[in-house]
Structure 1
Amino acid sequence: MKTLKILLLLIAVSIMGCSDLEEEPVGLLAPEGFFQSTQDIQTAVNGSYTHAINEKFWGRKLSIALMLRSDMVDLASNETRRMEMNDLTTLGNNGMISEFWPKTYQGIAAANQAIAGAEFVAADEAIKNPVIAQARFIRAFYYFHLVRQFGDIPYLDQPVSDAAAAATIGKTPAAQVYENIIADLEYAKTWLPDTQPTRAIPSKGAASSYLALVYLTMAGNNDTAMFQRAFDEAEEVILNAGTYNFDLDSDFQNLFNANVIDGSVEPIFALDYNNFEAPNNAYDQIAPMTGIRGDDRNSGGGWSVAVPSLAVYTTWPADDYRRAVSMDDGASINGNLEPFTNFIASGHQFAKNQPYIAKYTRYPGPFARGNARATSHNYSMIRFAEVLLIAAEAGVEVGENQAAITYINRIRARARMGGTTEKDGVTVTVAPSAVPADISGTVTVNDVLEERRLELAFEGKRWYDIARRQIGATVFGASGLEGAKSDFSVTDYLMPLPADELDRNPNLLPQNPGY
Structure 2
Amino acid sequence: MKKIFTTLLICAGLMSSCDSLLDIDPEFTQDAENFFNTEEDFQRALIGAYDLMQTAYLQIFIGEIASDNSIAGGESVTDTQGLHEIDNMTHGGVNAELRDVMRFNYTGIARVNYIFEFQDKLDFQGKNQLLAQAHFLRAYYYFTLVTYFGDMPLIVDRRISLSEISRSERTPKEQIYAQIESDLAIAIEVLPWVQPEVGRITKGASMALLGKVLLYQEKFSEAASVLDELINTNQAGYGLFADYSTMFYVINENVNEDVFTIQYSGQQGGDYGCYVCLQGNLAVGFHGIRQYNGPFYGDGNSYNLPTRNLYDAFSPNDPRREATLLDIDAFIASLPNSGNITYARGGGGHTGFYNNKYIKRLDERGLPDDDLTSPLNYRAIRYADVLLMAAEAFARTGNDGRARTELNKVRERVGMPAINSSGQALVEDILQERRLELSGEGYRFFDLVRTGKAAENIQGFQVGKHELFPIPQVEIDLAGGNWRQNPGY
**TM, length-normalised to structure 1:** 0.83
Partner-residue secondary structure (3-state), 1:510: coil
2:224 is equivalent to residue 231 of structure 1: yes
CA displacement at 1:5 relative to structure 2? 9.6
Is contact 1:290-1:302 (8 Å) kept?
yes
CA displacement at 1:162 relative to structure 2? 2.2
| 1:166-220 Cα distance to aligned partner (Å, 9 max, x none) | 332111100000000000000111111121135521101111111111100001x
Cα separation, 2, equivalents of 1:403 and 1:268: 21
* Compared CA separation, residues 168 and 117, structure 1 to 2 (3 A): same
2:81 is equivalent to residue 89 of structure 1: no
Partner-residue secondary structure (3-state), 2:485: coil
CA displacement at 1:441 relative to structure 2? 3.4
2:469 is equivalent to residue 471 of structure 1: no
What amino acid maps onto 2:317 in structure 1? D
CA displacement at 1:365 relative to structure 2? 2.2
* Compared CA separation, residues 28 and 315, structure 1 to 2 (3 A): farther
What amino acid maps onto 1:274 in structure 2? S
2:38 is equivalent to residue 37 of structure 1: yes
* Compared CA separation, residues 152 and 353, structure 1 to 2 (3 A): closer
Partner-residue secondary structure (3-state), 1:118: coil
* Compared CA separation, residues 62 and 247, structure 1 to 2 (3 A): closer
Cα separation, 1, equivalents of 2:156 and 2:186: 14
Q: How does 1:162-311 map to 2 (within 5 A)?
A: 162-219=161-218, 226-241=219-234, 243-262=235-254, 264-275=255-266, 276-278=268-270, 280-281=274-275, 282-283=277-278, 284-296=281-293, 301-311=299-309
CA displacement at 1:100 relative to structure 2? 2.2
* Compared CA separation, residues 86 and 104, structure 1 to 2 (3 A): same
CA displacement at 1:246 relative to structure 2? 1.3
**Residue aligning to 2:4:** none
Cα separation, 1, equivalents of 2:15 and 2:374: 27
Greater mean alpha carbon deviation, residues 69-78 or residues 296-305: 296-305
Partner-residue secondary structure (3-state), 1:75: strand
2:60 to 59, 63, 67: 63
Is contact 2:10-2:106 (8 Å) kept?
no
1:492 to 466, 469, 482: 466
Partner-residue secondary structure (3-state), 1:402: helix
Q: How does 1:137-148 map to 2 (within 5 A)?
A: 137-148=136-147
What amino acid maps onto 1:268 in structure 2? V
Partner-residue secondary structure (3-state), 1:382: strand
2:440 is equivalent to residue 441 of structure 1: no
What amino acid maps onto 1:183 in structure 2? S
Is contact 1:6-1:501 (8 Å) kept?
no
Cα separation, 1, equivalents of 2:287 and 2:106: 27
What amino acid maps onto 2:283 in structure 1? I
Is contact 2:133-2:191 (8 Å) kept?
yes
**Residue aligning to 2:119:** 118
What amino acid maps onto 1:191 in structure 2? V
Q: How does 1:409-424 map to 2 (within 5 A)?
A: 409-416=408-415
Greater mean alpha carbon deviation, residues 113-122 or residues 494-503: 113-122
Q: How does 1:317-466 map to 2 (within 5 A)?
A: 317-330=315-328, 331-332=331-332, 347-348=344-345, 350=347, 352-361=350-359, 363=361, 365-369=364-368, 372-416=371-415, 436-442=416-422, 444-466=426-448
Is contact 1:195-1:245 (8 Å) kept?
no
Cα separation, 1, equivalents of 2:270 and 2:344: 31
Is contact 2:12-2:160 (8 Å) kept?
no
**Residue aligning to 1:130:** 129
* Compared CA separation, residues 444 and 176, structure 1 to 2 (3 A): same
What amino acid maps onto 2:449 in structure 1? A
- Where structure 2 has 5 or more consecutive residues not aligned to the other structure, the ranges are 1-8
* Compared CA separation, residues 300 and 82, structure 1 to 2 (3 A): same
Cα RMSD (Å) = 2.7
What amino acid maps onto 2:250 in structure 1? A
**Residue aligning to 1:503:** 477
Greater mean alpha carbon deviation, residues 503-512 or residues 386-395: 503-512
Partner-residue secondary structure (3-state), 1:100: helix
Higher relative contact order (CA 8 A, sep 6+): 2
| 1:380-410 Cα distance to aligned partner (Å, 9 max, x none) | 1111111101110010011111111111111
Is contact 1:37-1:122 (8 Å) kept?
no
Cα separation, 2, equivalents of 1:408 and 1:45: 37
* Compared CA separation, residues 24 and 445, structure 1 to 2 (3 A): farther
Partner-residue secondary structure (3-state), 1:506: coil
**Residue aligning to 1:430:** none
* Compared CA separation, residues 353 and 156, structure 1 to 2 (3 A): closer
Is contact 1:137-1:184 (8 Å) kept?
yes
Is contact 2:11-2:110 (8 Å) kept?
no
What amino acid maps onto 1:16 in structure 2? L
Greater mean alpha carbon deviation, residues 200-209 or residues 440-449: 440-449
Structure 1 runs of 4+ off > 6 angstroms?
Answer: 11-14, 23-26
* Compared CA separation, residues 372 and 325, structure 1 to 2 (3 A): farther
**Residue aligning to 1:106:** 107
* Percent identity of equivalent pairs: 27
**TM, length-normalised to structure 2:** 0.87
Greater mean alpha carbon deviation, residues 227-236 or residues 33-42: 33-42
Is contact 1:205-1:268 (8 Å) kept?
yes
Greater mean alpha carbon deviation, residues 34-43 or residues 491-500: 34-43
CA displacement at 1:66 relative to structure 2? 1.9
What amino acid maps onto 1:457 in structure 2? S
What amino acid maps onto 2:257 in structure 1? E
